[in-house]
């Protein structure tokens, strides 16, 4: 068939080439801003190039046509190839490079080392004593053992204080006896637990002399290191297929009076002595630090998920032609429609905003762990906990929305698994649940907000952390034409008003006789609204800070357009609060709308390059629709032909059922 002639696929789609030519900035320079440094952006490109030279790391069969078993096997094959090339591809133990390598080669659907790297090793780093690290950390880093993080149970996830798995200390044998007393106490959900891991960090209720000390982390061997068979006393398996993440074997785990040595309680911050005496940690929640680590990474990780969906949708929108504007001789690129821009560009701005936030929170976590491990200083824990609790909830929610809009922006082809957007969506929205269900975490953030409001009301504003300082700002009239700072001021007023209103409501119920818990529940929706506004304000301020710090003029100009779009879009999105409280007038609302529409026009010529700047390889994107070459239709046809259903002309379902049925109908 002539239209499949290879020659016409040589070179990129001219529509995309034109987009790339009109960009006003250099995508390598933009990548430096996205990835935090010139060095890392260059390393990413270098790693991508090295990967492309290893034939065994190129895609085999499209993921969409694989079974779960095939996906898991393929991920393991890739891990094996990676381990042979590890030292030649990346600097050993460089977490960011390793993450990039995994994202690109194995993708996002999960693999046996995902939890090993993201939670098992970090828990050993933050919770194990030096002696324990000597014993396990080296082995874990060399991947002699595979570990996961087993906390959630069939009956309890959000409420850690009610975990049922017990670790009862036996002073006579100096052992802990791990036990699963009921079916609801089965560990349920941990990634890579089902079939791959032979070790786990198990969170269990520490019990000494009939006294419960709450959840503590233990390192537990689950399987024989030679045979990989579960050890006696352990029941373990896979929990079955999920909405996405089907390359991961999320698992269940039960203990039948399973004994582990005393030295398997991770004892960097707390201890159980041989006689059973307990030395408490410097902060009650220090054992939760691995969750805080993952939450601190989520703004970045979710930003990258949304970026992948938007690369696909924006490239496709520059290639897809549908309908007419002025010129009736050629259909228009759908990216030229204002509605398409309004659907996609605010999400592009959020991607950048989330990533800038993520760069900051990752550093905040690293600093916290240094402070705790080196100086025993836990003073930063409360702030980082409330910040990351709000942030994980807000970014996962908006990422889900942004990816779904990206899918719809691709019309019918977005619904095909060839776009890969449905898979990205499934993986990203898991983040609304894991590491703390979003509502639960917004309410954690609200605890800090209410405390801060109470401090202001009690006349102690000097005790507020810098993040809460806006709660003392007086109401002022703001001229929006002044620039970003004016938007921040209005946002601060809106967020402050909501924090005070929610706290007032809480207090009102308490004064009327409700307990704090009941009053809290009756005010919970208002409290979560306050948390969202507080978090969105933080994101907005980080975006402004980051753009102000950029030195490359053309990159800064492109990002200033994006920032302006973000400011106007965010303010419009929360305008109902501002109007209700008389913070903004309807004239100001009209101004914001007009600014927003003009931002869309300014961003239009840079849209493709703003997304190209993420420098995702086609291997990483795994999207037929979003490939860099833009030869959407040829690529889609090739992909469809590779469907298992097309490997024979007549399917058994036809010979077995349809054919006889049609024959019968003829009689």
Q: Which residues are known binding-site members for FAD?
A: 152, 191
Residue 175 or 301 with smaller CB distance to ligand LE4PLURH: 301
Rounded-to-integer distance, Cα 78 and Cα 86, Å: 11
In the list ligand LE4PLURH, ligand FAD, none, the entry touching 292 (Cβ below 5 to 8 angstroms by class) is: ligand LE4PLURH
Adjacent-strand bridge partners of 176: 169, 260
Kindly tell me which residue out of 27, 126, 127, 151 binds ligand FAD, with binding defined by CB under 6 A. 151
Cβ–Cβ < 8 Å for 538, 467: yes
DSSP 278-323: EEPPSSTTGGGHHHHHHHHHHHHHHHHHHHHHHHHHHHHHHH-B-S
Q: Is 112 in the site for ligand FAD (CB under 6 A)?
A: no
The stretch among 133-141, 186-194, 386-394, 564-572 that binds ligand FAD (CB under 6 A) is 186-194
Residue 48 or 444 with smaller CB distance to ligand LE4PLURH: 444
Kindly tell me which residue out of 291, 394, 558, 600 binds ligand LE4PLURH, with binding defined by CB under 6 A. 291
In the list ligand FAD, ligand LE4PLURH, none, the entry touching 118 (Cβ below 5 to 8 angstroms by class) is: ligand LE4PLURH
In the list ligand LE4PLURH, ligand FAD, none, the entry touching 468 (Cβ below 5 to 8 angstroms by class) is: none
Residue 385 or 541 with smaller CB distance to ligand FAD: 385
Spatial neighbors of 658 by CB under 8 A, at least 6 apart, are: none
- # chain residues binding ligand LE4PLURH, by CB under 6 A: 33
Residue 449 or 596 with smaller CB distance to ligand FAD: 449
Active site residue 462: no
Rounded-to-integer distance, Cα 271 and Cα 280, Å: 7
Residue 47 or 167 with smaller CB distance to ligand FAD: 167
Kindly tell me which residue out of 112, 215, 414, 436 binds ligand FAD, with binding defined by CB under 6 A. 436
Closest to 27 (Cα-Cα) out of 632, 599, 621, 616: 616
Rounded-to-integer distance, Cα 141 and Cα 119, Å: 12
Kindly tell me which residue out of 35, 113, 120, 149 binds ligand FAD, with binding defined by CB under 6 A. 149
| Crossing angle of the two packed helices 438-457 and 484-511, in degrees rounded to 10 | 90
Residue 180 or 250 with smaller CB distance to ligand FAD: 250
Q: Is 200 in the site for ligand LE4PLURH (CB under 6 A)?
A: no
Any idea how long the chain is? 667
376: left (phi over 0), alpha (psi -120 to 50) or beta: left
For ligand FAD, which residue has the nearest CB? 157
For the chain, how are helix, strand and coil distributed in percent, rounded to 5? 60, 10, 30
Coil/strand/helix, residue 234: strand
In the list ligand LE4PLURH, ligand FAD, none, the entry touching 439 (Cβ below 5 to 8 angstroms by class) is: ligand FAD
Rounded-to-integer distance, Cα 161 and Cα 163, Å: 6
Q: Is 115 in the site for ligand FAD (CB under 6 A)?
A: yes
Kindly tell me which residue out of 160, 202, 272, 603 binds ligand LE4PLURH, with binding defined by CB under 6 A. 160
Coil/strand/helix, residue 420: coil
Q: Which of positions 100-159 make contact with ligand LE4PLURH (CB under 6 A)?
A: 102, 108, 110, 114, 117-118, 149, 151-152, 157-159
What are the backbone angles phi and psi of residue 456, rounded to the nearest 5°? -65, -45
Q: Annotated catalytic residue: which of 117, 360, 423, 435?
A: 435
Instruction: Kindly state the tokens that stand for 552.
Output: 């490359």
Rounded-to-integer distance, Cα 484 and Cα 559, Å: 13
Rounded-to-integer distance, Cα 425 and Cα 399, Å: 8
Closest to 175 (Cα-Cα) out of 100, 252, 264, 241: 264
Residue ranges in contact with ligand FAD by CB under 6 A: 115, 149-152, 157-158, 189-191, 245, 250, 430, 433-434, 436-437, 439-440, 443
Q: Which residues are catalytic?
A: 435
Residue ranges in contact with ligand LE4PLURH by CB under 6 A: 93, 95, 98-99, 102, 108, 110, 114, 117-118, 149, 151-152, 157-161, 191, 285, 288, 291-292, 294, 381-382, 385, 434-436, 440, 444, 447
């Amino acid at each position: 068939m002539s239209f499949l002639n290879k020659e016409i696929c040589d070179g990129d789609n001219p529509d995309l080439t034109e987009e790339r030519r009109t960009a006003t900035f250099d995508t390598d320079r933009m990548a430096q801003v996205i990835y935090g440094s010139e060095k890392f952006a260059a390393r990413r490109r270098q790693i991508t190039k090295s990967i492309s030279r290893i034939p065994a790391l190129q895609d085999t069969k499209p993921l969409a046509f694989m079974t779960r078993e095939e996906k898991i096997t393929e991920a393991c094959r890739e891990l094996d190839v990676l381990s042979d090339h590890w030292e030649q591809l990346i600097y050993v133990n460089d977490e960011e490079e390793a993450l990039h390598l995994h994202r690109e080669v194995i993708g996002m659907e999960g693999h046996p080392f995902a939890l090993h790297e993201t939670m098992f090793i970090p828990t050993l780093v933050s919770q194990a004593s030096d002696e324990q690290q000597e014993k396990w950390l080296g082995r874990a880093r060399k991947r002699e053992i595979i570990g996961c993080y087993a906390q959630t149970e069939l009956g309890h996830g959000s409420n850690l204080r009610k975990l049922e798995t017990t670790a009862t200390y036996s002073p006579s044998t100096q052992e802990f006896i791990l036990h699963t007393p009921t079916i609801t106490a089965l560990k349920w959900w941990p990634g890579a637990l089902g079939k791959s891991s032979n070790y786990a960090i198990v969170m269990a209720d520490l019990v000494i002399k009939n006294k419960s000390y709450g959840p503590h982390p233990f390192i537990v061997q689950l399987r024989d290191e030679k045979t990989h068979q579960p050890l006696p006393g352990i029941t373990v398996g896979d929990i079955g297929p999920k909405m996405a993440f089907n390359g991961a074997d999320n698992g269940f785990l039960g203990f039948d009076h399973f004994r582990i040595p005393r030295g398997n309680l991770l004892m960097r911050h707390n201890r159980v002595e041989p006689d059973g005496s307990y030395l408490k940690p410097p902060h009650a929640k220090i054992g939760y630090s691995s969750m805080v680590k993952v939450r601190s990474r989520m703004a970045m990780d979710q930003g990258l998920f949304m970026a992948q969906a938007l690369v696909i949708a924006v490239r496709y929108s520059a290639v897809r032609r549908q309908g007419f504007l002025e010129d009736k001789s050629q259909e228009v690129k759908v990216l030229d429609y204002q509605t398409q821009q309004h659907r996609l560009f605010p999400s592009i701005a959020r991607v950048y905003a989330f990533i800038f936030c993520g760069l900051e929170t990752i550093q905040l976590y690293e600093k916290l762990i240094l402070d705790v491990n080196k100086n025993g200083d836990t003073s930063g824990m409360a702030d980082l906990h409330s910040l990351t609790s709000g942030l994980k909830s807000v970014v996962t929610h908006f990422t889900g929305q942004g990816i779904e809009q990206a899918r719809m922006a691709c019309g019918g082809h977005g619904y095909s698994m060839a776009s890969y957007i449905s898979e990205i969506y499934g993986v990203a929205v898991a983040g609304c649940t894991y590491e703390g269900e979003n509502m639960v975490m917004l309410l954690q953030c609200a605890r800090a907000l209410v405390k801060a409001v109470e401090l202001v009301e009690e006349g102690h504003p000097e005790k507020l952390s810098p993040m809460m300082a806006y709660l003392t700002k007086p109401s002022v009239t703001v001229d929006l034409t002044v620039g970003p700072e004016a938007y921040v001021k209005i946002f601060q007023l809106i967020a402050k008003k909501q924090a005070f209103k929610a706290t007032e409501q809480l207090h009102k119920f308490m004064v009327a006789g409700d307990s704090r818990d009941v009053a809290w529940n009756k005010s919970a929706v208002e409290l979560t609204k306050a948390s969202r506004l507080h978090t969105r304000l933080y994101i907005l301020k980080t975006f402004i800070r980051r753009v102000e710090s950029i030195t490359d003029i053309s990159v800064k100009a492109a990002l200033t357009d994006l920032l302006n779009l973000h400011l106007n879009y965010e303010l419009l999105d929360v305008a109902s609060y501002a109007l209700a409280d008389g913070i903004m007038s309807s004239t100001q609302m009209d101004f914001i709308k007009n600014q927003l529409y003009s931002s869309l026009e300014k961003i239009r010529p840079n849209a493709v390059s703003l997304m190209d700047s993420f420098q995702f390889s086609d291997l990483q994107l795994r999207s037929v629709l979003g490939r860099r070459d833009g030869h959407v239709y040829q690529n889609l046809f090739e992909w469809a032909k590779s469907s298992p259903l097309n490997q024979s002309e007549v399917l058994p379902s036809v010979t077995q059922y349809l054919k006889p049925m049609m024959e019968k109908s003829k009689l």
